[in-house]
Structure 1
Amino acid sequence: MGDRRVINVYLLGVGFMLIFTAFTTCGNIEQTVIRSLTNTSFSGSGYNSLAIIYGVFSASNLIAPSVVAVVGPKMSMVFSGVVYSGYVISFSKPMTWSFYITSILIGFAAAVLWTAQGSFLILNSDCATLNRNTGTFWALLQCSMLFGNLYVYLQWRDTAAISDHDRSTVFIVLSVVSLAGTTILLLLRNIKHVESSSEINDPLLQHSRLFKEKATSAMDQIMSEFWSMLRLFRTKNMLLLSVTIVYSGLVLTFYSGVYGTCIGATREFGPVAKGLIGLSGIFIGIGEILGGGIFGLLCNNNQFRRTSAILLGVIVHLLAFYLIFLIIPADAPLEDATSRSYEPYLSPSPAAALVSSFLLGLGDSCFNTQIYSVLGILYPQQSGPAFAIFKFVQSISAAVAFGYSNYLVLPWQLLIMTTFCFFGTLSFFTVENIEENASGLQDF
């Protein structure tokens, strides 16, 4: 059983790595690609597409636990992976109507995918292996930032304008990679949950279990999962963690869609600007992988507290924000490289941009691995609803951020993230303090 769970964690990580090699690369370059389209009938916006995705994603998280409960985690992830592949394929021949329809579909699929992933990861973990499995999965997932972006860099490093042939080639390759990741998810083996003693002593969990025992149809189970999620959302710890999760959503928007666009629109980078988008994604991925690997190992050996990891994330993110503020023009998220009203405070250099990318990835891994960890510790028997709430809150903040990215200059976007970084850190520390006082044990 132990070996099967370990294999499942690795297969889960590799499958997600391939799917998100396609999707994150797509998100990183889509606004730049759209600006280069020769198809004058296309009127879509990459920012608007991502705002739709995360808006639908947030709403769909309300029903995602019910879908996963009925269909099962494995098949929920497989079906969602097929939808992700369809979104990537749509870029090979962009049309406005298909662009926005697939944006809606992938928003729903994302909610189901991530709820199923969280539930499946918890089912294959226990208190002794949760940090290790979380770190392992996160490191494998973030390898997705390397391969697709490396391919983009190699293809576009000397490209001033992206041709239709260049675009089609990249997105066809990414589509094949996404379908390969979906196929790997079919190899996962189902693990039945073993009830722990903590469930017996928790009145909320007892109520949820009794409710489920009365379920005699799929609709009963759907309503059971929905009300379980609403009850969980009202708890003090979850409300506090929501502030931290909001911050993670803002950062997700920035590094996955806005920062790459900023680099591509900075004329001081010259002809390497388009290729530098892919290289930036690689360095974000290196930071993510390093953070996931380190925290999965150190936290599993009781050598690193969750609060210490969060504090490290705060430091590296604030450094990244300040460096980006200095070297990237204020209107880079809004304007093309040929017309600009603002000049950067310091002369932009590719090295400084890539250092910022690395810091963004490292800080993001600090926050996300510890959010995963604390949710697994606090809600081991309610993993589906807990991760649905996580993605619900995160996707709402991401959708809002993609919406204002169309209008706010870079300094205002950085100020918003800095503010939520401060309050999100305070909220996480408060939850850790409450949990330590309640259990009488030191954080591990």
Structure 2
Amino acid sequence: MRRDLSIILQMGLAFAFIFSAFNSQGLIEISVLRKLAEISPETGITEASGYYSLSIVYFVFTMSNLIVPTLVKKLGTKWSQVCGAFCYLIFMLTFLRLSVSLLYFGSGVLGFGAALLWTGNGGYLVEFSRNGKLPRNSGILWAMLQSSLITGAFFLIYVLRNGDLTSNYKMVYTVFAGVSCLGIICLALLPSYPPQFEQQFEEIVRSESQENLIDEARISEEDDGTIVESVRAERPSVFALLATQDMLCLSVTFLYTGFEMTFYTGVYTACLSATLALKSYSDLVIPYNALALGVGQIIGGVLTGPVLKRFNYTRSQIILMGMIGHVLAFFLCFLMLPFDSTIHPSDMITYASPTLCLTLLIAFLLGYSDACWQTQIYVVIGEMYKKDSVNAFAIYKFFQSMAACISFYYSATLLLHWQLLILTVGCFLSAIFFLRIEFKNEIRNNPPVVVDNENAEQQ
């Protein structure tokens, strides 16, 4: 196995650990806090605290993306990921002495850490991907990341077989904290700079853009300026990149990924927990759906990564598959889930009777479609902005987290059918703007051949 591939696998393992904790807690946070609001009012927790906590996470995430490109260049992409992952650990620990003020403080810390982690991750992935291997590596990373949903689901099933989430939440979050520590260790053991790739059956030429990325990562060792001064100096370049036509088009897609991420990571499972027609399955409906989400994410990551090249799928085709899957999932949610299940437990009559099989199908579609969007965004950014990948990934996470912040906030009061309408419209707009960029890239990379008719006739 080549050294660069083993590095990507190690990073994927680290993210699998970290997000087996965070993604799993995201699936249960809203429903657990709803129940704690009833039995432990002295903590200050309310029924909407789960939504507000996640909204704070993504609000701070959004604002932090304006400054983290400079911090990433100072710390390096590796240590930015380590510092960001440590913030995830702090958030898990706040649940061991839960109060509303500590919860919201931990949410803010997590938001800042998420900006560091994901911006560093995007830059690191581009740095350590050989020419032509970025689609493969992004697919592998995404599949390993989303395998965390499966491991987290099995853990939650074990907990629920021996009790309930509300009475065992401290034990659950203790385990989550321990697993996060394993992820931090894996990240800390990563190399800081790409290795000299060996010649194995072919000469591997490192592109000029990769050299530029390595030079950027070493700025932290050569620049004596303060971080504050660096942030001020870097800000114009971020806004200049954002003002380009291509980035503005991609921003529509970035926003949509934030809205749909909010839905499948928090709102959907909260609705399942509040649907009284599914109470016969108890809280097990959540980990079962987490399993389906994880399977969908992994299949989507594999099909859009290693399998992509073999079957000659284009990015446009992958995005269209993601769009169709999401629209179908939203329509099934409209038919099956009570409209007021986003706010409180409901036995409202629905167009279709809620069943476990139908919820699993929806979860699979949500996971698969999300993988289609996310992996192709990584590839597009990596190919279009090789020389400025840190700023590009920061802009991506800025818009994604801003949309997530807004949607988690309105999810506390907005009925389900209105949320599904927003998602459906956003899905179509996102696909249109993404395909527009793809069409431009195809023309740019494959310009039409101009034939000289006079010379052709003479010949």
TM value normalised by structure 1: 0.91
- Which one of 186, 189, 206 corresponds to residue 188 of structure 2? 186
RMSD in angstroms over aligned alpha carbons?
2.5
Rounded Cα–Cα distance in structure 2 between residues aligned with 1:133 and 1:102: 32
Quote how far apart the aligned CAs of 1:221 are.
4.0
> Is it true that 1:82 corresponds to 2:90 in the alignment?
no
The answer to whether the 8 A contact 1:266-1:332 is kept is yes
Distance 1:273 1:72 in 2: 46
Residues 78, 347 of structure 1: CA spacing in aligned structure 2 closer, same or farther, 3 A cutoff?
A: same
- Give the 5 Å matches for 1:164-183: 164=167, 166-183=168-185
Identity across matched positions, percent = 36
| d(CA) in 1 for partners of 2:281, 2:266 | 19
- Write the mapping of 1:284-433 to structure 2, written as runs, cut at 5 A: 284-301=293-310, 303-337=312-346, 342-433=348-439
Render the CA deviation track for 1:343-384: whole Å, top value 9, x for unaligned.
211111001001100000000001001111111110111110
**2:412 alignment partner, SS class:** coil
Q: Cα deviation per residue 1:221-255 (whole Å; 9 max; x = unaligned)?
A: 43443332211111111100111111111010000
Distance, in Å, in 1 between the alignment partners of 2:64 and 2:445 is 34
Give the letter aligned to residue 413 of structure 2.
Y
Deviations 1:301-357 (A, max 9, x none): 4711000000000111111111111111111110125xx5x3211111001001100
Match of 2:95 in 1: 91
Q: Is the 8 A contact 1:329 1:344 kept in 2?
A: yes
Q: Deviations over 1:271-319 (max 9, x none)?
A: 4231111111111111011000111013334711000000000111111
Equivalent residue number for residue 47 of structure 1: 51
Distance 1:74 1:100 in 2: 27
Output the CA distance in 2 between the equivalents of 1:162 and 1:336: 17
Partner secondary structure for residue 191 of structure 1: coil
1:260 pairs, out of 250, 255, 269, with 269
Instruction: Summarize the Cα distance change of 1:126–1:87 in structure 2 as closer, same or farther, 3 Å threshold.
Output: same
Amino acid at match of 2:170: S
- Whether the 8 Å contact between 2:130 and 2:206 is mirrored in structure 1 is no
Whether contact under 8 Å (1:157, 1:276) holds in the other structure is no
| TM-score relative to the length of structure 2 | 0.88
Letter in 2 for 1:121: L
Distance 1:107 1:334, change over 3 A: same
Contact map agreement 1:69 1:225 (CA 8 A) in 2: no
> In the alignment, does 2:251 pair up with 1:242?
yes
Q: Distance in 2 between matches of 1:14 and 1:178?
A: 11
Query: For residue 437 of structure 1, what is the aligned residue in structure 2?
Result: 443
Return the alpha-carbon distance in structure 2 between the equivalents of residues 292 and 150 of structure 1: 21
Give the distance between the partners of 2:231 and 2:410, measured in 1 at CA.
34
Report deviation, 1:88: 1.3
Q: Is the 8 A contact 2:32 2:166 kept in 1?
A: no
What is residue 120 of structure 1 aligned with on the other side?
Answer: 124
How far apart are the structure 2 equivalents of 1:98 and 1:88?
11
Shift of 1:111: 0.5
Output aligned runs, 1:69-218, within 5 Å. Answer: 69-156=73-160, 162-164=165-167, 166-192=168-194, 196-197=207-208, 216-218=224-226
The structure having more radius of gyration, on CA atoms, is 2
Aligned to 1:11: 10
Is the contact made by 1:225 and 1:385 (CA closer than 8 Å) also made in structure 2? no
Matches for 1:46-65 after TM superposition, within 5 Å: 46-65=50-69
SS of the counterpart of 2:240?
A: helix
Q: Which residue is 2:200 aligned to? A: none
| Aligned-partner residue type, residue 281 of structure 1 | A
SS state at 2:235 partner: helix
- CA gap of 1:439–1:163, structure 2 versus 1, over 3 A, is closer
Partners of 1:162 and 1:173 in 2: how far apart?
A: 13
Distance in 1 of aligned mates of 2:194 and 2:234: 18
Structure 1 residue 199, shift from structure 2 partner? 9.3
Question: For residues 270-289 of structure 1, what are the structure 2 equivalents within 5 Å?
Answer: 270-289=279-298
For residue 350 of structure 2, give the secondary structure of its aligned residue in structure 1: coil
How far apart, CA to CA, are the structure 1 residues paired with 2:313 and 2:116? 32
Q: Which amino acid is the alignment partner of residue 279 of structure 1? A: Y
Q: Give distance in 2, aligned partners of 1:225 and 1:5.
A: 30
After TM superposition, the structure 1 stretch with the greater mean CA deviation from structure 2, 293-302 or 403-412, is 293-302
Runs of 4+ in 1 over 4 A off after TM superposition: 192-195, 197-200, 211-216
Q: Which runs of 5+ in 2 are unaligned?
A: 196-204, 449-459
Deviation at 1:439, TM superposition (A): 2.0
Distance (whole Å) between structure 2 residues aligned to residue 122 and residue 411 of structure 1: 39
Distance verdict in 2 for CA 1:13–1:404, change over 3 Å:
same
How many residue pairs get aligned? The number is 430
Please say if 1:231 is aligned against 2:232: no
